[in-house]
Chains A and B, each alone.
Chain A
C-alpha cells in the first residue's frame, strides 16, 4: 500500500527533469508528496503540515545549491530535517538511584509487561544489575501471573501481592523489598490505561508521587495512528515522563507515531521492542527510524549518489 517516498518524489519531479533548479512550483508539488507519505506513515496531521512547511522553506532557501538535482536535494532536506526532529544521540536510562526505580506507563496492550521483562533482562545481562520486577497491575486478568512467567523466563524475582488491590501500596512495598534484599534496580509494571480515564490517570500519578522514580517510561505501540499525540501529551502532562519506548517494530509499520510523539512531548525515544522474546530489545537509532518512516534504505542511497 505504501509506495516509497523517493519513488513518489521522482514521479513528482519527473516533469521537471533538466530544470536543475528548485522553483516555487515544484517545491509545492513535492512537499505535497512528502506530506502524503508522512500521513501514510501515520505522522500526525498537524505535525506533517508543519514539517512540510519547514521543508518547503528550507528548500526554497537553498537555491544556492541549484547544481544538484532537485529531487535528490529534496530527499536530503527531508531526511536531515526528520533525523534532527527524531533526536540526536541515543540516551540511556538513569540508574543513579539506590535502588533505581523505573516506572512503566502506557495504554492497554502497548507492551509494558513484556518490556518490563526485556529491560530487566537487559540490565541484568548487559549492565550487571540486580533487578526486581514489581507487579502493580491489579486489574487485567492474570497480569500478575504474566509478570511471574516473564520473571521466571529471565531468572529475575517478581514482587507481587495478590491480596492487595492498591497499586501505590504494592509499589512502595516492592521498593522496600528491594532495599532489604539488595536489589539495585526496581522495575514497576502498571496496568494499561486510557488517557481519558481520570481515575486511572490519578492512580498512576499517585504511584509516581509516592515512589519518585528515577525514570518514568511511556510505552507505545509503533502501529499507533493519529491518536498518538493525544495520548503522549496526556501522559506527559501527568507524569512528565523521561523517555519513550516504541514496541512491535518487528512488524511492517512505518511508525510515524514516533515523530508525532517526539514533536509533542520532546522526550527521547530510548528503546525499541522488536519481538515477543526477552532478547528483542534494542536502543533507538533516530536516523534508522527516519529512514523507516520515509520508506527505507533506498532514500539514503539516492542521497548518497547525489
Chain B
C-alpha cells in the first residue's frame, strides 16, 4: 500500500490547483502503467484523457484526482463491464448453455474450467465437461481430476482423437442428460499456427450440428503475466472463434495483467473473471476498479 499512497499523494501535489499536469507526474504515471503491462499505446491514450480532464476541470483535490484516474483507466475497459458483477450468466431457456474455453499454451484454461464448473454447480446448474484437449500429455487426466473434485460428469475419448468429435459427443451427452451448462476444454495453441486455429473453427462448426448457435460463449484465457503479445492472441482467437469474454489468470503473483485494458478497449470484449490461485475457489468475478487499483499498490 505504500507505493500506492506515495503515488497518489505525489500526483495530487503536482496537480492540485493547477490546470495542467506537470511532466514529472505524467512520467510517474507512465511508469506505473507501462510496468503493469498496459502498453505504450494505451498508456498514451490514458495520459491524454487525464490531461484533457485536468485542463477542463481545473482545480482538483486528492480525492477527485484519484477518482478521475480510476475512471479514465477503467473507462477503457469494455462498456459491458459496469464495475458490478460481470460473471457469465446462464440465460433461461437456452439449454445446454455451451462455453468453449480457448487460449495459448499454459495460460490456465483447464484450471479455470475446474473453478468455473465449481461455481456453476454451486448455483445449482447441472454441468458437463468436455475434454477436447486430446493433444497435450495427460490433459484428459488433468480435466478428469477437476471433474472428480467438482463432482461433475466429463465426456472424453482417447488421447490423440479428434477434438471436434469429443466436442460433438459432449454436446450430445449433455442434451440427453438434460444438462444446463457445458464447458469445453481445448488444447493450448499459439495463435500464429494457422492449422491449429482452423481446428478451433472446426470444433465450433461441429458443435453446431448438435445444438444451434453454439458455443454461446467463447472464453479466451489470458495469462496475467503476459506482455504485449496478448494483443495478438486476442486478435487471432477472435478471428478464429469470435471470443465473447476474457479471463485473466495468475493475478495472485506480482504481474498486473494491464494488457487487458487495451485489449478490452480495442476488441470490445469484457473481462469476466480473474484467476487468483490454483485452488478450486480461486476464481473471482472481475471488478474493474479493484483491478485498476492494483496497479498502484505494491504486493511485493
Contacts and interface: CB of A to CB of B under 8 A. Distances in A.
A146 interface: yes
Contacts of B299: 196
Interface string B220-250: 0001011111111000000000000000001
A107 B225 contact: yes
Nearest to B148: A141
Nearest to A1: B231
A76 interface: no
B105 A276 contact: yes
B137 A227 contact: no
Given A36-B40, A142-B141, A221 B253 contact: no
A139 B142 CA distance: 11
Contacts of A231: 225, 253-254
Most A CB atoms within 10 A — which of B149, B231, B300? B300
A41 interface: yes
B37 interface: yes
Contacts of B191: 251-252
A296 B299 CA distance: 36
Interface string A136-161: 00011111011111100100000000
Contact of A252 (B35, B136, B229, B252): B229
B190 A225 contact: no
B144 interface: yes
B138 A251 contact: no
B104 A251 contact: yes
Contact of B35 (A147, A150, A226): A226
Given A40-B228, A223-B223, A225-B226, A252 B192 contact: yes
Contacts of B228: 1-2, 40-42, 225, 254
A142 B139 CA distance: 8
A194 B107 CA distance: 14
Nearest to B43: A39
Contacts of B107: 109
B37 A251 contact: no
B108 A109 contact: yes
Contacts of A72: none
A253 B229 contact: yes
Interface string B139-152: 10110111001000
A118 interface: no
Nearest to A38: B40
Contacts of A195: 253-254, 300
28 contacts: A39-B39, A40-B228, A42-B229, A107-B225, A107-B253, A109-B106, A109-B107, A141-B145, A141-B149, A142-B141, A142-B145, A147-B137, A194-B253, A196-B254, A221-B225, A223-B223, A223-B226, A223-B227, A225-B37, A226-B37, A226-B256, A228-B225, A248-B104, A251-B192, A252-B191, A257-B227, A276-B135, A276-B136
Interface of A: 1-2, 36, 39-42, 44-45, 107-111, 113-114, 139-143, 145-150, 153, 194-196, 221, 223-228, 230-231, 248, 250-254, 256-257, 276
Given A141-B141, A146-B141, A225-B227, 9 more contacts: A39-B40, A107-B250, A140-B142, A141-B114, A141-B145, A145-B137, A146-B138, A248-B105, A251-B191
The 7 closest A-B pairs by CB, nearest first: A225-B227, A109-B106, A42-B227, A141-B145, A149-B137, A227-B255, A142-B141
